[in-house]
Amino acid sequence: MTQKSRLPGANRPEKTPVVAVAGNPNCGKTTLFNLLTGARQKVGNWPGVTVEYRSGVANIDGQRMSVVDLPGVYSLLGGGGADQDVARTYLVHGDADLVLNIVDASNLERHLAMTFELMQVGRPMVMVLNMVDEAEAMGLLPNPERLSEALGIPVVPMVARTGRGQAQLVEAITAALADPPVVHTHVFEPAIENPLRGLRAVMPGRTYAEKRFEALRLVEDVVDTETPEIAEALKNTREAIESLTGEDAADAVAGYRFGWAHDTARKGIGFRHKHRADNTMTERVDKIVLSDLLGVPIFLAVLYSVFVVSFSGGNIFLDFFDQTSATLLIDGVGHLLLSLGVPDWLTAITAGGIGGGLNLVFTFVPPIGLTFVFLALLEDSGYMARAAYAMDRLMRKMGLPGNALVPMIVGFGCNVPAIMGSRIIEDPRGRLLTVLMQPFMSCSARLTIYMAFAVVFFRENGGQVVFALYLLGIVVAFLTAFLIGRTAVKGEAMPFIMELPPYRLPSVRNVLLQAWQRLKVFLLRVGRVIAAIGLVLFILPGIGWTGNGIATTDIDHSLLAQGSRALAPLFAPMGVEPDNWPAVSGLIAGAAAKEIVIGTLNGIYQRQNSEDQMARYRDPDIVGQLYDALMTIPANTVAFLSTLGDPLGLQAMSSNESATQASGASNATLAAIAAGFTPLSAFAYLVFVLLYVPCASTMGALKREVGTGWMLFSITYGVGLGWGAATVIYQAGTFAEHPLASAGWIIAVLAALGLLIVTLRYYGNRQALRPRQHLVGEQP
Amino acid sequence: MNPLFAVRDLLRERRVATTGQLATELKLPREVVDDVLAHWQRRGLIESEIVETGGGCGIGSRSSCGGCNGCETVKTITADIPSISAYRWLGPH
């Protein structure tokens, strides 16, 4: 090659050996070069290019030698800019007497790919295993002896930055120049090596290495040839490799190199612990939480723990918050207003309506606040991302988009951003399914209703009940996506794109800040709505249809009561008694916002009790009530500690005392709820609240994201499913009392579900025959 | 295990994946996965693309949802990565 005569090192004085420092970029070549040459350096340009050329003179044990600092290069076959061309040309065609192949011990596998190529050049070589300190800090244990044995060349562990290992390197260089080590040119497996010989034989080149590299560059498709003889040999070589390896020739050659580097790196680098891949905390934890078998059960167990601990722990302070806020906001405000001469009706509205609403909101601050703290803890630790990842596999098996879980987790706070968050899914089908799943996620507004009913009916195992409702929401969301994805919008799930963040020790500040942000939103938004609706419903039920037309009347004969009673039979199959018309009012009002359900109940029940309340306003025992409130903390703590031995709440579940606990509820609204439901009908009611029509904001988000058609479908589907599920639960629970009627209701619900599936399939088949359209915005 | 073919097989199965996902699942150094992906990209069997992960931006903005902090949740879960490079399998399945 004519280029050779112009390369650095050419025309050098006799007996001045040349040592080339070669390796990937950023592995410490220049540091090593400086260490060897000190100030005796010269800088110029490589011939014909504007790439900087640095060489120097080293004096090792009285022997002068020229040291060349080559530009970093990833592969001798090709790639990179002019600087890498220069290094490549020098290493293949130059006349260095010794190559110092410097590699990064903390990233050995990658660097060994070029070592594999350098060895094939056959030039005497010493490996410098640099940055062993960084490797050790990562828990790696470099094993230069074993690496040297695997490679057949000397390997010197070093920290070039500090000079650690310099003496050993000097010794190795001296020995290598005096008695050049024979580099066993690595040969590929016979399935590659044998066919390669034929091509190498026809390649131009001065040396074995030159011919070999040109042949490899051709086989790996790095360069092309126009010489017919070479083209023919190349074709034969490729065909032979492909038939012997079963892989495309270019892939077989590259694959062998990657495999060799992988295996050799495992020989050269040990690990502080027994198993290679398991020695970091993240990997060890991930191996369990991301496993096919345990990933999903662990997620469910974690979620279960969050709700049980939040509810049970929150219970310690629940009565304190309830009684304190009732004393101050209802009795205290009522007494103050009466003392100021405010009329009774205005006092009743302010203290009963607004104060009662706020009392309800404050009552649930402990369990809801704790839930937010635990959810923030899971997010900040990096676990929530794992939960999404673990669920991905399960969801993809069901044909669902895996990253639907990220918006779903957001949906625990509010369904609206969850629906908007579905935009992270690129695939229109996956996005549509994800959007339709979100209304079934239990948002914080529903949490208030769950908590209220749990306190009344399931005080000792309320956490389990709340978890069951959350879980039911998730299951229904999955089944909805599964059903629609297999019928109306058939297709394949696109994969999940998300990088897993490392596990972090959660920052107390972040967790508390995140939880406080959510609690603040809950208090402001939910509290505002409940208080406002309590006020409205305190006033509105004062008019009704009488024999003389619309006139003022008591609440039980108001328009609200008359309308709700008319609709009550619709809810009778799910256990709502005709007399419990406030429960129906709550559901109707709840279509605007789920917070309103409990606000409505509060407004009505407070109104029904308003006369009793007036007596309390006139003569409240503020100090005594506050003292009683404070005393609930130690009592509830003892109760909490006694439940620790029964995390599943089995004992409480088998007890019949839950309903009677309601009689002790200090809050008038909670006491009224207790009177209107049984535990079973309360649970059925909660299931309906979970599944039925989403709030107005969610409907708006649905319309914006997937169009009016799918929004209407979501509403109808949710109401139908909620009613069906609640009816089946109630009828199954009371089957023994009226088996014929219960069986009829259950069969009717299942038949309706069957009809829905058939309709969706019909729609899906009809869509499949139509020209492809955008899914989003279509009318189902 | 052969990293070149392991990455190819996993990407063919998943159709789209990021370097981090492949490295995590196959327990390979990211840099090695990068080199392997460069090979398959050069061979025309995969293509890279930038995927917007959301990163919390524009999701649940206060003007549209009343500020429920959902965007913060997305940011935390997705490690606040606004976009990442993903690789899409183009070859036969």
A588-634 confidence digits (pLDDT tens): 877 777 767 877 777 777 666 666 667 778 888 889 889 988 998 99
Task: Give the model's pLDDT for residue A316.
Answer: 86
Q: Is A517 helix (H, G, I), strand (E, B) or coil?
A: helix
Q: How high is the mean pLDDT of chain A?
A: 81
Q: To 10 degrees, what angle do helices A249-268 and B3-14 make?
A: 110
- Per DSSP, which regions of A256-329 are E strands? 269-271
* CA pair distance A716, A64, nearest whole angstrom: 88
Question: A417, B21: Cβ pair inside 8 Å?
Answer: no
Whether the predicted pLDDT of A528 surpasses 80: no
Question: B21, A498: Cβ pair inside 8 Å?
Answer: yes
Q: Is A551 helix (H, G, I), strand (E, B) or coil?
A: strand
pLDDT in tens, A545-591: 666 666 656 667 777 788 888 889 999 999 998 888 888 888 887 77
| Beta bridge partner(s), residue A102 | A128
Instruction: Name the burial class of residue A48, with classes exposed (0-12), middle (13-18) and buried (19+) by CB atoms within 10 angstroms of its CB.
Output: exposed
Q: Which chain B positions have a beta carbon within 8 Å of A110's beta carbon?
A: 29, 31-32, 35
Question: Where does the pLDDT of residue B64 fall: very low under 50, low under 70, confident under 90, or very high at 90 and above?
Answer: very low
pLDDT in tens, A744-763: 999 999 999 999 999 999 88
Range 481-540 of A in CB contact (< 8 A) with B: 494-495, 497-501, 514, 517-518, 521, 525
Contacting residues for A512 by C-beta, under 8 A, at least 6 apart: A373, A376
- Distance from the first to the final alpha carbon of chain A: 72
Whether the predicted pLDDT of B89 surpasses 60: yes
Average pLDDT in the A773-778 region?
47
Average pLDDT in the A224-231 region?
88
Query: Which of B1, B18, B58 lies nearest to residue A499, judging by beta carbons?
Result: B18
Residue A184 per-residue DSSP state: -
Amino acid at B66: G
pLDDT in tens, A268-298: 988 765 444 444 667 778 878 888 788 888 8
pLDDT in tens, A575-585: 998 888 888 88
Residue A159 per-residue DSSP state: B
Q: Can you say how many angstroms the Cα of residue A48 is from the centroid of all Cα atoms in its chain?
A: 53
Q: How far is A700 from chain B (nearest CA, A)?
A: 10
* CA pair distance A320, A627, nearest whole angstrom: 10
Angle (CA) A358 A361 A366, round 5°: 135
Residue B67 per-residue DSSP state: -
* CA pair distance B80, A234, nearest whole angstrom: 49
Question: Where does the pLDDT of residue A19 fall: very low under 50, low under 70, confident under 90, or very high at 90 and above?
Answer: very high
Q: How far is A413 from chain B (nearest CA, A)?
A: 7
Task: Give the model's pLDDT for residue A270.
Answer: 82
Buried b (16+ CB within 10 A) or exposed e, B42-68: bbebbeeeebebbbbeebbeeebbebb
Q: Which chain B positions have a beta carbon within 8 Å of A382's beta carbon?
A: 79
* CA pair distance A662, B15, nearest whole angstrom: 55
Average pLDDT in the A85-89 region?
85
Task: Give the model's pLDDT for residue A45.
Answer: 60
Question: B66, A406: Cβ pair inside 8 Å?
Answer: no
Task: Give the model's pLDDT for residue A620.
Answer: 81
> How far is residue A576 from each of residues A564, A602, A680, A682, A695, measured CA to CA in Å?
11, 17, 10, 9, 21
Tokens representing A191?
Answer: 């399935």
Which range, of A62-76, A204-218, A703-717, B67-81, averages the lowest pLDDT?
A: B67-81
Q: Can you say how many angstroms the Cα of residue A58 is from the centroid of all Cα atoms in its chain?
A: 55
Q: Which chain A positions have a beta carbon within 8 Å of B15's beta carbon?
A: 494-495
Contacting residues for A141 by C-beta, under 8 A, at least 6 apart: A135, A269, A270, A271, A272
Whether the predicted pLDDT of A165 surpasses 90: yes
Residue A458 per-residue DSSP state: -
Q: Which chain A positions have a beta carbon within 8 Å of B43's beta carbon?
A: 221, 248, 250-251
* CA pair distance A401, A175, nearest whole angstrom: 61
What torsion, rounded to 10 degrees, do the Cα atoms A716, A719, A723, A724 define? 40
Q: Can you say how many angstroms the Cα of residue A142 is from the centroid of all Cα atoms in its chain?
A: 35
Q: Are B51 and A497 in contact, with CB atoms under 8 Å apart? A: yes
Range 655-714 of A in CB contact (< 8 A) with B: 697, 701
| Start-end of H helices in A271-294 | 281-289
Question: Where does the pLDDT of residue A357 fall: very low under 50, low under 70, confident under 90, or very high at 90 and above?
Answer: confident
Rounded percentage of chain A residues whose pLDDT exceeds 90: 27
Question: Where does the pLDDT of residue A660 fall: very low under 50, low under 70, confident under 90, or very high at 90 and above?
Answer: very low
Q: To 10 degrees, what angle do helices A462-486 and A696-733 make?
A: 110
Q: Which chain A positions have a beta carbon within 8 Å of B64's beta carbon?
A: 416, 420, 701
Which range, of A499-508, A510-519, A530-539, A708-717, averages the lowest pLDDT?
A: A530-539
Angle (CA) A244 A261 A269, round 5°: 145
Q: Can you say how many angstroms the Cα of residue A60 is from the centroid of all Cα atoms in its chain?
A: 57
> How far is residue A740 from each of residues A723, A735, A750, measured CA to CA in Å?
19, 8, 16
Can you tell me which residue has the tokens 């968050």?
A421
3-class SS shares of chain A: helix, strand, coil, % to 5? 65, 5, 25
Number of H helices, E strands in chain A: 35, 11
Tokens representing A243?
Answer: 């038939």
